[in-house]
Structure 1
Amino acid sequence: MSAPTPSPPFDPRTMLAMSMHASPGVYALLVGSGISMGAGVLTGWGVIVELVRRMAATDTREEPGADFDVEEWWKAKYPGVDLGYGSVLEASGMSPSDRRRLLAPFFIPADDQEREEGKKVPAPAHDAIAQLVKRGTVRVIVTTNFDDLIEQALLRLNIAPQVIAAPDMIAGCEPLRHSACTIIKVHGDYKRIDLLNTDAELEAYEHDLDDLLDCIFDEYGLLTSGWSADWDKALVAAVRRAKSRRYPLYWSTVGALGDNAHSIVDARRGGVIENAAADEFFPDLVTRLELLDRMATPPLTRDLAIARLKRCLPDPVRRLELRDLLDGEVERVRAYLDTRSRTPTPGKPVDWQDEIDTALREVDTLLHLVATGIALDTQRAHDDLWIWTVEQLMRGYPRRLSGGSVHIEWGKFTLFPAYMVLKAASFATTQARRDDLLIRLHRDATKPAPPDTFNSAGHIQVEVTAAQELYDVYVLTDGVYEALKSKYGPFTYTVPVRRILEPILLPFVGDPSSFELLALRTEYRISLLHRFLLPFEAQAHGLYADALRSYEHFDRADGWMPDEDFAAAGVHKVWIDTLGLKGEEPIREAAQALAEVAKATKKWR
């Protein structure tokens, strides 16, 4: 084995991603058995070892032990014959049909258990390759593999590739430039009987296949992964024949390159991407390309986004356009969250005010879209979209965190955008008299629960809701609270939210006093809803709402009382139907319990 070709002074992963992004469809993939290792599919050497073990067992009538030396046994049994994939199959004396039946169990799951364990089904590398095809980055894939894992991954994305698994299939195939994806399986497919296995079969290809490979290797850039170039003489020769150097070659490898691979990289002045296992390399490549997508497509200005929203809302034909609009903003916010480091800078205090200001800038357009959308969605046609938006932002945050308190606080701040969007949506639902949607936003937006999460009844909880994940005192941790306090002065937990959302909701309510009343009504509803949705030990969190201060101050000039205002709104039936309650009594009991606890609670600041 030769040492890897020295890499250029720049990062080859970065240059590959930038080149592929700038020239979609220009690169072809050349992949071997290494990309399927994560799926539990043996490499060519692994198949050799297993086949030789079986040959030894039938020859000696004893199962080889753990110390069985494959190469020593082969040398003794077949002196002068090099141990290789082809020579083993030649020694078996099997016909092509027998070989196919012998090899099939190496490539397809034996039972449901293997499928459940992720064996011989598409691995992250296959799924990422399918993503490259979907986005148009790659349209041609050359593979030495017999398995159909790439095809399965493509079908998951509703992409039906053109598969060329034998030379006689070439004449009738669609031209490469016209096909969304073409897979050339140079050694065949395990489902066919004309597999190429032996040294003689791998020595040279038929003319039609050689011509096709000459076209690909001459006209396309090449990204190689999981292929050693040690055994496949005809394929090595095809790569070497390419005269053009118009597009680069990149070779991703886990270990050192062999002599053949080394000479190919040298001849084509290729770049070597080292320590690149396929299941890590291809998903990483997709992530880099998606980041370049976002950088190349400037976000809509807020006003343009709102104008587009207003055009889409009443038009059922533009539902997908509306979904794409919200999805683009969600992805932009999540991209911002992804750029935050996992932990704060060691030894440096966190500037929470800067973190808050940055987060609010990033989520500003989404706050306007959600609030405007709910307020103007008079046909109630897009409720699931608003819930989905909150849910997607929730799911960008891992609930289980480790480390000191500052690390946990830093991690929890990832929920701040979702928290603000939920608040904006809640204010808008109250303004639109959509208590049903308010309840659904807090109850139906969910994320997978961490292990060992129990509900109030002591049962294992599979999912946690927005009500459980996005309540005030959980998201507004001490550092965040103090930063907000320094900006807005002494307050209850909900006052900063009012000040942030006021300019967004003011156009829908008309004046500041009407907005304050809207805030009181929304906060009371959330507090009441917590009585139904939060686990018992967390129900007191809703008591921090500023709306409940009226229970302590009965001398309020306007005489506004939240429970009386709620009863006068005539929404009891909506709450009964949406929460599945048995009559109005549970609502009255919850309101009374809320009032009694609020009177005794002094934690307003």
Structure 2
Amino acid sequence: MEWYREEYRREPDYSDLLGTLAKSPEDRNAILRKYFEPTDEERTRGIKMPMPAHKAVAELVSAGYVRVIVTTNFDRLLEQALQERGVESTVISTADQAQGALPLVHTNCTLVKVNGDYHYTKIKNTAAELGSYDERINSLLDRVFDEYGLIVCGWSATWDIALCAALERCRSHRFTTFWCKCGNLEDVASRVANFRLAEPIEIKDADTFFQDLTAKVAAIEQFDKPHPLSPKLGSAMVKRYLVDERERIALHDFVAAETEKVCAQLTGEKFPAMTPPTNEEFVKRIHRYEGFTEILVAIITTGCFWGQNSQQLLWAKSLERVANAKDLWTGISLWVDLRLYPALLLLYAGGLGAVASGKYATLAALLVKPRYKGAEGESSLIHKLNWLSVIESNPNAPNLLLPNDGRKHHFPMNEYLHRCLRPTLREFVPSDSDYDEAFDRFEYMFAMVWVDEKPKTASAGWVPLGRFVRNYSVLSSVLHHGQPVGKIIDAEVEREGENWPPLRAGLFGGSMERFRTAKQHVDSFIGGRSQYLY
């Protein structure tokens, strides 16, 4: 540095130096490339790799809090960080890409590299090049700076004349600009910040700031659940509407509104399907789904327990709507499958409420009426909603859902649902033994209807079993103090015949023959496996 000052009698200037060493963009590209691409040794040491700030920004994008990134850097560190988080970003580094890009609202993340990408020769590096942008880039920046709030970090603004001009062209300040700084801003940055009416944030460095921001957002997200009284209030509202036939429209509107609130949370932005699978993320998503659905779970449980036949389709339609709320069909199978967990919660909650109150017409509506509209066409929802469909892609689920349990669970999701829904059902079924019986009966009825509703051309095959299997061996029935639910149902049918309530309610098409065929298949399937289970 001293040599340069003595030789040229001025301060070294990046733009001047680069312009002197490399006259053309191609030459400059060749010089700069080695500064961006790590060697194997550098990669091992984490040099020229995404820093904590890059990773934190990628996490904010993955969670849906950041949609657009504007950067003056040529490197691909942000792209790498986004890829590591499973985020597919739209990268715009040329005017042609800006012209042909999708509207910002239709992408998960748009990364605008205003000075270009080092892989291409047309990068802006000298003062002259940084003085202006193509009109197509300007048009894109005008939309970004007008339609989005900004977090400005790590930008001096001194050399990026065209970018400063774009910020100062925007006359509307509808959304807040936050400007991160270490000490006082330089003259140009201070001018632009004042023009944007920016809120200054004193930071230590970009890594610390974005890591802290991400941690605080995650903490708010964790506690940003409905008020703990909300499920009780939702249940109370349903009870009030149910006792007065004149409130049927209000009941419909109330359930529909709460259903749509849940569906609004089950998006690819909040639950991206390309996030790398981890045990922590799996458990986090399970609990987030439960938080988003807890009010509707209370509503459906109350409605199915106390409601009349005239309301049964209301609960079935709510279940169908939630099951079909997901907006993406592709991605990592673990996350795609888990998107049905909210619907599984609602089915179990409503089914348990219906069984506990003996409302088999409501149970029939829940199990038979809802349809699933998938990538392969429309089918009966019941064949998509079972524990295997939801967690088949995660062999670690038993340990994650039931940690330190000390028992081997062959049906961990069923056991977990049994525990998860107990607080909601306690109001309706105070006795734990009665709750166990209702749970076993629901899952057994579920299995029989699952068999009965299969297309006639399909092979008999697999059956979704549940906790009730624990009572199917002599030893297990003694240990669990329970009689197999299948035998209890046999006794009921023997006593009541065609008047057995589930048949009268329309399950199995009201056909004794269809019921016996389905039950025989379920019992046969259990018989070949129960000795290995408990």
Query: How does the TM-score come out when normalised to structure 2?
Result: 0.51
What per-residue deviation string (whole Å, max 9, x for no partner) do you get for residues 320-351 of structure 1? 32222222222222222113243343486652
Q: How far apart, in 2, do the equivalents of 1:306 and 1:499 lie?
A: 20
Question: Counterpart in 2 of 1:531?
Answer: 451
Name the CA distance, whole Å, in 2 between partners of 1:11 and 1:368. 47
**Match of residue 229 from structure 1:** none
Q: Distance in 2 between matches of 1:591 and 1:9?
A: 63
Q: How does 1:435-474 map to 2 (within 5 A)?
A: 435-451=360-376, 463-474=378-389
1:440 and 1:487 mapped to 2: Cα distance? 38
How many angstroms does 1:511 deviate by?
Answer: 1.5
Alignment partner, residue 423 of structure 2: 503
Rounded to whole Å, the distance in 2 between the matches of 1:360 and 1:600 is 34
What code does the residue aligned with 1:476 have? I
Separation of aligned partners in 2, 1:495 and 1:349 = 19
Counterpart in the other structure of 2:512: 584
CA distance in 1, matches of 2:404, 2:284: 12
Name the residue aligned to 1:388. 317
Question: Is the partner of 1:447 in helix, strand or coil?
Answer: strand
1:471 partner amino acid: N
The alignment covers a number of residue pairs equal to: 312
TM-aligned CA deviation for residue 577 of structure 1: 6.1
Q: Which residue of 1 aligns with 2:115?
A: none
Distance in 2 between the 1:331 and 1:9 partners?
33
CA distance in 1, matches of 2:227, 2:429: 32
- Report whether the alignment pairs 1:556 with 2:478: yes
The C-alpha deviation readout for 1:445-486, integer Å capped at 9, x for no partner, is 0132433xxxxxxxxxx5212211111211123434442133
Asked if the contact 1:492–1:546 (Cα under 8 Å) also holds between the matched residues in 2, the reply is no
Q: Judge which range, 385-394 or 569-578, deviates more.
A: 569-578
| 1:322 paired residue among 251, 257, 263 | 251
Q: Which amino acid aligns with 2:441?
A: R
Deviation, structure 1 residue 601: 0.9
CA-to-partner distance for each residue in 1:111-167, whole Å, 9 max, x for gaps? xxxxxxxxxxxxxxxxxxxxxxxxxxxxxxxxxxxxxxxxxxxxxxxxxxxxxxxxx
Instruction: Percent identity, please.
Output: 19
Aligned equivalent of 2:400: 483
Q: 1:542 — aligned with what? A: 464
- Hey, what's the Cα distance between the residues in 2 that align with 1:492 and 1:7? 55
SS at match of 1:508: coil
Counterpart residue number, 1:94: none
Contact between 1:493 and 1:545, CA under 8 Å: does it hold in 2?
A: no
1:342 aligns with 2:279: no
Matches of 1:332 and 1:14, distance apart in 2: 30
**Cα contact 2:452–2:508 (8 A) shared by 1:** no
Match of 2:176 in 1: none
Deviation, structure 1 residue 298: 9.4
Distance 2:374 2:489 in 1: 33
Taking a change above 3 Å as real, the CA distance of residues 546 and 484 of structure 1, as seen in their structure-2 partners, is farther
The reply on whether 1:369 has 2:299 as its aligned counterpart is: yes
- State which of 509, 512, 524 in structure 2 corresponds to 1:596: 524
Q: Deviations over 1:188-222 (max 9, x none)?
A: xxxxxxxxxxxxxxxxxxxxxxxxxxxxxxxxxxx
Distance in structure 1 (CA, Å) of the matches to 2:284 and 2:390? 16
In the TM superposition, 1:140-151 aligns within 5 A as: none
Q: Distance in 2 between matches of 1:421 and 1:531?
A: 21
Q: Distance in 2 between matches of 1:517 and 1:467?
A: 21
CA displacement 1:289-334 (0-9 Å, x = unmatched): xxxxxx9x99982232222222111223322322222222222222
Runs of 4+ in 1 over 6 A off after TM superposition: 5-11, 297-300
Instruction: Judge conservation of contact 1:572–1:584 (CA < 8 Å) in 2.
Output: no
Counterpart residue number, 1:397: 326
2: distance between equivalents of 1:445 and 1:14?
A: 45
- Secondary structure of 1:486's counterpart equals coil
Taking the aligned partners of 1:336 and 1:392, their CA distance within structure 2 comes to 13
Secondary structure of the residue aligned to 1:542 is coil
Does the residue aligned with 1:470 lie in a helix, a strand or coil?
coil
One-letter amino acid of the counterpart of residue 472, structure 2 = S
The 1:426/1:582 distance shift into structure 2, 3 A limit, reads closer
Which structure 2 residue ranges, 5 or more long, are not aligned? 1-132, 150-223, 494-498
User: Among residues 345, 355, 359, which one is paired with 1:420 in the alignment?
Assistant: 345
Distance 1:301 1:555, change over 3 A: closer
Report deviation, 1:498: 0.7
- Aligned equivalents of 2:228, 2:146: Cα separation in 1: 25
1:523-564: CA deviation from partner (whole Å, max 9, x where unpaired): 211122222023545752323443464246475375613223
**Root-mean-square deviation over aligned CA pairs:** 3.6
**SS at the partner of 1:332?**
helix
- Taking a change above 3 Å as real, the CA distance of residues 440 and 306 of structure 1, as seen in their structure-2 partners, is closer
